[in-house]
């Protein structure tokens, strides 16, 4: 019989670290579900009093861990709703349920627990679930009457098969021409290099360099740079220290005349490299620092014998150019059919969705 234990204490959650990461490794889950990543999210959002951790047990064996966050939102900018969903909704690579067995039963037990202990939620929200996730397996079984599904962003990746030369030769002539042209344009100024930092002792320097670059990037103007967001800063300061100590961090900095002009932040795990973040100074945009940095990294990963370079969520043109494939992701909204208010919202949303579909097809 599956039982659910609720944990509201960060300190008590920390006692699960070894079992947590063992579960991740046994099931081959994404690095963004690891204890260190989740703990850093929790630390960055400790001002929220509505983070809960549900542990699913079969007898004494932990078979599922569900870090959840309860949020107040407004649909259509006006309708107040209470949502609940994975803590990784805040920031994740590819969302999944951290459950290695009896996933369907575990999730039903989680929803049953929530209906008793936290009955006033309106929507269980799940973002960026990949096609091959546990979540998709549950949803496809059609247990939920009040459910809406929307396409999410694609998640491009490079399958690192063969060699760098084989990979490049499969690319279009236009791509290879652009690669040569942009590299030549970048090298015209001379005095350039790429610096790698990855040890725990480098973390303070990495953070300082990242902040300085983002302050002169488009992200600053768009109000999404790390320097402008205290929660982002808390997350990166926490997570980079943890992942560097586990020897999984790789930060690369592109320099011209000893000035840092671009950075790429990578997490290395199970022969997969995850590109966590990148940015470059706007004044160097014409020299294609992002393209040059990507070329360096893809070639390096081939040389290191990695299996995959995951660009994570988002599908801008530059990611499409380098990628050999993309994972389809979906966003799910399960409405609480025990609440009249939630049922009303579901019907309104469904009508709007059907109207949009009708307009597209007409």
Could you read off the pLDDT of 12-53 as tens digits, one per residue?
899 999 999 988 888 778 888 899 999 999 988 876 668 899
In the prediction, which pLDDT does 49 show? 63
- One DSSP character per residue, 149-170 reads EEE---EEEEE--S-HHHHHHH
Cα angle: 151, vertex 152, 157; to 5 degrees: 120
Residues 183 and 254 in one domain: yes
In the chain, % helix, strand, coil (3-state, to 5) comes to 45, 30, 25
100-128 pLDDT tens trace: 788 889 998 999 999 899 988 999 999 98
The 3-state DSSP class for residue 8 equals coil
- Please give the Cα distance from 203 to 361 (Å, whole number): 52
What is the average pLDDT across 158-166? 95
Q: 288 CB contacts (<8 Å, ≥6 apart)? A: 182, 185, 186
269-287 pLDDT tens trace: 889 999 999 999 999 988 8
Q: How many CA atoms lie within 13 A of 70 on its CB side?
A: 15
Residues 201 and 316 in one domain: yes
Longest Cα–Cα distance of the chain, Å, equals: 67
**Percentage of the chain modeled with pLDDT above 70:** 96
Residues 31 and 140 in one domain: yes
277-333 pLDDT tens trace: 999 999 998 888 988 999 999 999 999 999 999 988 776 777 888 999 998 889 988
b or e along 132-169 (b: 16 or more beta carbons within 10 Å of the residue's beta carbon)?
ebbbbebbeeeebebeeeeebbbbbbbebeeeeeebee
Residues 169 and 315 in one domain: yes
- Please give the Cα distance from 277 to 207 (Å, whole number): 12
**In which domain, by residue range, is 20 found?**
2-152+328-361
Residues 101 and 171 in one domain: no
Residues 124 and 180 in one domain: no
Residues 95 and 83 in one domain: yes
Band of residue 141 on the pLDDT scale cut at 50, 70, 90: low
Decide: pTM greater than 0.85: yes
Residues 247 and 267 in one domain: yes
Q: Is the pLDDT of residue 189 over 70?
A: no
Check which CATH number belongs to the domain holding 349 and give it. Answer: 3.40.630.30
Contact 121, 83 (CB under 8 A): yes
Backbone angles phi, psi at 307, to 5 degrees: -100, -25
In the prediction, which pLDDT does 261 show? 94
Number of domains observed in the structure of the chain: 2
Residues 124 and 207 in one domain: no
Residues 91 and 199 in one domain: no
Residues 218 and 233 in one domain: yes
Residues 300 and 345 in one domain: no
């Amino acid at each position: 019989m599956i039982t659910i234990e609720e944990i509201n204490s960060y300190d008590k959650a920390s006692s699960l670290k070894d079992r947590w990461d063992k579960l991740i490794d046994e099931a081959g889950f994404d690095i963004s579900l690891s204890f260190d990543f989740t703990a850093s999210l929790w630390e960055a959002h400790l001002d929220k009093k509505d983070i809960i951790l549900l542990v699913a047990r079969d007898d004494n064996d932990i078979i599922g861990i569900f870090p959840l966050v309860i949020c107040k939102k407004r649909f259509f900018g006006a309708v107040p709703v209470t949502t609940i969903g994975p803590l990784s909704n805040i920031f994740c690579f590819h969302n999944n349920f951290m459950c290695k067995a009896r996933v369907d039963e575990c999730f039903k037990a989680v929803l049953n627990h929530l209906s008793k202990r936290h009955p006033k939620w309106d929507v269980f929200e799940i973002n960026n679930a990949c096609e091959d996730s546990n979540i998709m397996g549950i949803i496809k079984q059609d247990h939920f009457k009040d459910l809406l599904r929307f396409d999410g962003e694609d998640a491009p990746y490079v399958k690192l098969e063969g060699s760098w030369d084989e990979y490049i030769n499969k690319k279009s002539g236009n791509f290879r021409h652009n690669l040569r042209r942009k590299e030549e344009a970048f090298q015209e100024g001379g005095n350039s290099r790429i610096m790698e930092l990855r040890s725990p002792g480098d973390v303070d320097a990495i953070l300082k360099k990242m902040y300085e670059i983002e302050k002169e990037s488009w992200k600053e103007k768009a109000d999404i740079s790390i320097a402008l967001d205290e929660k982002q800063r808390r997350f990166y300061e926490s997570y980079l220290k943890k992942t560097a100590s586990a020897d999984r961090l790789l930060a690369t900095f592109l320099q011209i005349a000893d000035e840092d002009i671009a950075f790429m932040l990578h997490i290395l795990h199970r022969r997969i490299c995850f590109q966590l973040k990148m940015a470059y100074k706007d004044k160097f945009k014409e020299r294609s620092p992002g393209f040059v940095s990507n070329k360096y990294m893809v070639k390096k990963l081939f040389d290191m014998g990695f299996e995959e370079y995951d660009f994570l969520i988002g599908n801008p043109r530059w990611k499409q150019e380098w990628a050999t494939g993309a994972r389809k992701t979906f966003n799910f909204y399960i409405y609480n059919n025990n609440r009249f208010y939630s049922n009303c919202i579901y019907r309104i949303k469904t009508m709007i969705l059907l109207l949009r579909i009708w307009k597209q097809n007409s």
